[in-house]
Structure 1
Amino acid sequence: MKGKVAGLFLFFSLIIFVLLSPIAGWASQEEKLLVAASILPQRYFIERIADQKVQIEIMVPPGANPATYEPKPSQLVSLSRASLYFAIGVPFEKAYLGRFFQINKNMVVVDTSEGISKIPISSIHDLTNGENGKSHGHEHSQGELDPHIWLSPRLVKIQAQNIQRALSSADPQNTKSYQKNLKRFLKELDELDEEIRGKLSETKGKKFMVFHPSWGYFARDYGLDMIPIEVEGSEPSAAELAKIISIAQKEKIRIIITQPEFPSRSAKVIAQEVGCRVVPISPLAPNWRENLLLLGDTLAEALKDNSREETKP
């Protein structure tokens, strides 16, 4: 109860801050459409379509966790005059989108996941309970769908089209420019998809471990199996860790992908036991294209080694 009261107090305090904040400096940006989005990779998508025609406010800053981040008063000031909010389905939005709308009821919330068929988030329990060993994520809660749709070039094509339509609706005078940029971006995404597919052409069916299961769509797209370490959003217990180590040994895991937004202690313990590499790659990196290529190169190197090892007599 005290937590709820404290949360409401903070929320209304922020609203008062927004309403009383000076509006000096608005004129310098008023010629541009102000749009907001949740995570850094979305900036890349919006910029590829809007070019220099919009001002972009990203809510979750570098290094922050989209599941726990709380917006700063200065961000709420920006939101109070934003025309569009590009939602993508991260946990942060469930807690705050309704509150954002109370601050700016003229802001249009655009669901960039519209048209995407999301996959369920599976769990390490799928393996420890004796299932078939194929895992594309973990279980935040029973029946929850994987929100990490920005890590698949094919799914980003759908998001890009949703972004373009919203920009054109809010700023019709620049529609032709947005459409032209979208066409170019879709071509770039196809080329990126083919480049990653080429890198991973010899790793079909291979397994890799992650702490937080961000890379489920990437794994699905390129024929890989992702095994999560995290158990229902937390570090595994000692007993669970022992089971995961056993799985890693059985599956001949050669690489564990971690990310700076989450702890890596258990990943390091597993790596020490099985003799594999731990490589940090953030799914929230702002250099989105280069980041996916980095993951492709990293997995190709590690999993090709695994393939060669398995073919030894």
Structure 2
Amino acid sequence: MLHKNSFLCAALTTAFLGAAAVPAQAAVVASIKPLGFIAAAIADGVTPTEVLLPDGASEHDYALRPSDVKRLQSADLVVWVGPEMEAFMQKSVSQLAEQKQVQLAALPGVKPLLMKGDDDDDHGHEGHDHSAENSDEDHHHGEYNMHIWLSPEVARLSAVAIHDKLVELMPQNRAKLDANLQTFELGLANIDKQVGSVLAPLKGKGYFVFHDAYGYFEKHYGLTPLGHFTVNPEIQPGAQRLHDIRTQLVEQKAVCVFAEPQFRPAVINAVARGTNVRSGTLDPLGIEVKLGKDSYMQFLNGLANQYASCLKGE
């Protein structure tokens, strides 16, 4: 009897030790929410997906907390754009094994699709404190535009890369991961057609955005932005700056000027006041979208509707 109990204790101890060896919080960790949308579709039913940046935080100047570093270290897989976008992650991700990370901008299929970044000197984040070690002041001054999650084509390639890495890490889940990828690709093809139909009548309607984040989306769907402005949400622009913006809006016959959720309405109203230009809001990070297997499709659809509602005047 004693021998049997000893055996049972040893078996239980081994089981507990085995369980302890696996991090309890292992998951796919995406740097920003839209990457989480893609990852959640592929990892659905296999492993949870978490997003590193909280809603409202800026990928431009976020600083990792100790708890963030632990999440990265214990993750099954880390998904990010790359150091030109999330400079704050570079040190932590460089310490991870190659098979436990996906750097999307570096994927062979994505590299040829990268669009040149904006290189005008006015496109900095004026007023931000760049003394912090983790600041990303060159976010827009790199060679390429890194808002690649706004390209449906890049999203598909990202999904394939996430799928391949997870199959490598969890071969026992291959059937589920294969099915998830197929579902994502079908869903993406369907929403791509729908969004194309919504936006097709709006081609040629001019508008301004505050942030040049949307190039991939605009190119894919044939939209025609007239320009963008850098307006720091923390600082009210001066009278001369507002006058210059208004002049451009009128001269270029803009239909709409788009803000983002973090910009104060007062800034937008000041820009559009005295013109016939409508104001709208674009959300490049999908703040209102809940993480789930269909969330990337909801994100694209939401963005299309944000464009359409302002450009149509609804």
Flag whether TM exceeds 0.5 (same fold): yes
Number of residue pairs aligned between Structure 1 and Structure 2: 269
- Contact 2:28–2:77 (CA<8 Å) still a contact in 1? yes
More deviation in 87-96 or 193-202? 87-96
Query: Which amino acid letter does the alignment assign opposite residue 98 of structure 1?
Result: K
- Contact 2:30–2:39 (CA<8 Å) still a contact in 1? no
More deviation in 42-51 or 255-264? 255-264
More deviation in 143-152 or 162-171? 143-152
Check 1:92–1:305 CA distance in 2 against 1; reply closer, same or farther (3 A cut). Answer: closer
Partner of residue 99 from structure 1, selected from 83, 92, 96: 92
Residue 108 of structure 1 pairs with residue 138 of structure 2: no
What's the TM-score once normalised by structure 2's chain length? 0.74
Check 1:124–1:225 CA distance in 2 against 1; reply closer, same or farther (3 A cut). Answer: farther
For residues 176-210 of structure 1, the C-alpha deviation after alignment (integer angstroms, 9 at most, x for no partner) is 22122111111111111110110011111222221
- Which residue is equivalent to 1:73? 66
Identity %, equivalent residues: 28
Separation in 2, partners of 1:120, 1:234: 27
Partner of 1:253: helix, strand, or coil?
coil
Q: How does 1:169-208 map to 2 (within 5 A)?
A: 169-208=168-207
Separation in 2, partners of 1:275, 1:29: 60
Separation in 2, partners of 1:217, 1:290: 17
How far the C-alpha of 1:88 sits from its partner, in A, is 1.5
Separation in 2, partners of 1:28, 1:285: 35
- Which residue is equivalent to 2:255? 254
Check 1:213–1:265 CA distance in 2 against 1; reply closer, same or farther (3 A cut). Answer: farther
RMSD (Å), alpha carbons? 3.2
The unaligned stretches of length 5 or more in structure 2 are 1-16, 123-137, 290-295
Residue 291 of structure 1 pairs with residue 299 of structure 2: yes
The unaligned stretches of length 5 or more in structure 1 are 1-23, 127-138, 307-313
Separation in 2, partners of 1:153, 1:218: 8
For residues 258-277 of structure 1, the C-alpha deviation after alignment (integer angstroms, 9 at most, x for no partner) is 22335565432221132333
Separation in 2, partners of 1:124, 1:246: 19
More deviation in 291-300 or 179-188? 291-300
Partner of 2:74: helix, strand, or coil?
coil
- Which residue is equivalent to 2:228? 228
Partner of residue 308 from structure 2, selected from 276, 300, 310: 300
Q: How does 1:9-28 map to 2 (within 5 A)?
A: none
- Which residue is equivalent to 1:49? 42
Check 1:233–1:53 CA distance in 2 against 1; reply closer, same or farther (3 A cut). Answer: same
Structure with greater Cα Rg: 2
- Which residue is equivalent to 1:84? 77
Query: Which amino acid letter does the alignment assign opposite residue 253 of structure 2?
Result: K
- Contact 1:43–1:56 (CA<8 Å) still a contact in 2? yes
